[in-house]
Amino acid sequence: MRGFRLAGAFVALALIIGCTRAPERPADPPGGHRMAQADVELKVESVAREADTLAVTYAVHNRTSRAVLLLDGLWDFGFGGQPTLDPHRAYVDLSGGQVVLSRMLIRVPDDLMVEAPEVPSVSRVEPGATATRRAVVPLPLRTSLPYPTGPVETRELSAVREVRLRVGYLPDAEGLKLHEGKDSHGNVTKTPEYGPAVTAQRVLDSGPQPVSAAK
């Protein structure tokens, strides 16, 4: 999925105040993702249409005594295949009748061989700090996943009533080796190795967030 600019009028669809805390003991929910610690909190602040995009504004609050790393630096490979960090990109999964936006490391399916897994760049959230972020995806919604296993689906926003947001993070910022580099625009990137990161990742899940007055 390519990056895009926001333009035109702002049309608010809904303002949703909600937060989620995962169980204190990590568990393995459907999909194999380990759930987040209870003291790292995801709060969805708004779901809104902005011109030809859907934007979800959210905050992650780190209540732990250690810095955490958000796996939210997704890549835009563009037409030329050159990797560029997109600060607002989210994966889009429309399977099973749901709309799931994800900013996280997606595990490579066991039956798929890839030359290089798609590993997000990380951003650091200090103890006690809150990071405010936006996930922005183009309309109509369209399947956008690093390893699609089914057909590409498209969905008009008028058919969407709920959106779920998932955000991945690494609970120990000092415990993983990061590779520093630059993207095609010269932005500094910091990426962990796939194996340790996919094992250590915890996932914050907002639960279904209703979208009202969709147009």
Which pTM does this prediction carry? 0.82
Q: Is residue 5 part of a domain?
A: no
- Show the domain range for 62: 10-209
Please check whether residue 55 is in contact with residue 63, taking contact to mean a CB–CB distance below 8 angstroms.
no
The answer to whether residue 215 sits within a structural domain is no
Taking only the tens place, the pLDDT of each residue in 81-124 is 788 999 999 999 999 889 999 999 999 999 999 999 999 999 99
Residue 149: the pLDDT is 84
- Give the lowest-confidence range in 18-27, 129-138, 146-155, 201-210: 18-27
Please give the average per-residue pLDDT across 7-24, as a whole number: 35
Is 214 inside any structural domain?
Answer: no
* Assigned domain for 1 exists: no
**Cβ–Cβ < 8 Å for 147, 109:** yes
In a domain, 192, yes or no: yes
The total number of structural domains that make up the chain: 1
* 48 within domain boundaries: yes
Q: Write down the pLDDT at residue 148.
A: 86
Peptide bond preceding 140 in cis form (omega within 30 of 0): yes
pLDDT band at 33 (very low <50, low <70, confident <90, very high): low
- E strand spans, 51-153: 53-62, 68-76, 84-86, 91-93, 100-103, 121-125, 130-138, 141-142
Lowest-confidence pick of 16-25, 84-93, 165-174, 182-191: 16-25
Cβ(45)–Cβ(17) below 8 Å: yes
Mean pLDDT of 177-189: 94
Query: Which tokens sit at 111?
Result: 């039956």
